[in-house]
A and B are shown apart, each in its own frame.
Chain A
Amino acid sequence: MGIQNLLWQVTKKAFTGGIIGVTISDRCCSVVPVRGDSMSPTLNPQRNSYLDDYVLVEKFCLQDYKFVRGDVVVFSSPTHFKDKYIKRIVGLPGEWISSSRDVIRVPEGHCWVEGDNKASSLDSRTFGPIPLGLIRGRVTSVVWPPQRVSKIS
């Protein structure tokens, strides 16, 4: 009877802890790895995947959708909806962006994103401005590896 009770208590605590963890990850913040070098040298300055950066993504910004130019954001790709990209916002709604051939105005409700490493980045220069509704969070700091812990402005 004592063992059963103990097991039940442990299960309840584990379940509650898991649910709280999921809620925090969905609504407050989560830690994600950065793949690829499209954001070099801000993120992943080396090409070795053992040293991939892990960044803190905060989700409070999704309440008001208050983004500014320069924010590094995580968003779902407009063409491959299961993929998530990390890029920097360089154009807000209503602003003009000079693309390779012409000048484009960022439509209402959208933003223009580009990687810091322009030579190796799949971004708005390819798939155009993205709706703000696709953004899943804002990157605030690097949390791993320890020697690269820093805030992202």
Chain B
Amino acid sequence: MGIQTLIWQVTKKAFTGGIIGLTISDRFCSVVPVRGDSMSPTFNPQRDSYLDDYVLVDKFCLKDYKFARGDVVVFSSPSHYKERYIKRIVGMPGEWISSTEDVIRVPEGHCWVEGDNKASSLDSRTFGPIPLGLIGGRVTRVVWPPQRLSKIGG
């Protein structure tokens, strides 16, 4: 009888802890790895995937959708909805962006994103401006590896 109660208590605590962790990850902040070098040298300055950066993604920004030019954001790809990209906002709604051939105006409710490493980045120059509704969070700092701990400025 004592063992059963103990197991039940542990299960309850683990379940509650799991649910709380899920809610924090969905609504407050989470830690995600950065893949690829499209944001070099801000993230992943080396090509070795053992040294992938892990970044803290803040989700409070999704309440008011208050983004600014220069923010690094996580968003769902407009053409491959299961994939997530990390890029920097370089154009807010209503601003003009000079693309390869012409000058484009960013439509209302959208933003223009580009990677810091323009030679190796799949971004708005390919798939156009993205709706702000696709954004899943803002990157605030690098949390791993420890020697690269830093804040990401706007």
Contacts and interface: CB of A to CB of B under 8 A. Distances in A.
B10 interface: no
Nearest to B131: A78
A10 interface: no
Chain B: interface size category: 20 to 34
Interface in A13-41: 16, 19-20, 22-23, 26-27
B109 A78 contact: yes
B108 to A, nearest CB: 5
Given A77-B109, A81-B109, A133-B134, A108 B79 contact: yes
Given A77-B133, A133-B134, A134-B133, A82 B78 contact: no
A65 B27 contact: no
A117 interface: no
B132 interface: yes
A79 B107 contact: yes
Contacts of A132: 81
B20 interface: yes
B143 to A, nearest CB: 24
Contacts of B82: 65
B117 to A, nearest CB: 24
Contacts of A16: 16, 19
Contacts of B78: 109-110, 131, 133
Given A19-B20, A19-B23, A26-B26, A81 B132 contact: yes
Given A22-B27, A26-B26, A78 B79 contact: no
A26 B82 CA distance: 18
B77 interface: yes
Interface of A: 16, 19-20, 22-23, 26-27, 65, 75-82, 107-110, 130-134
Interface of B: 16, 19-20, 22-23, 26-27, 65, 75-82, 107-110, 130-134
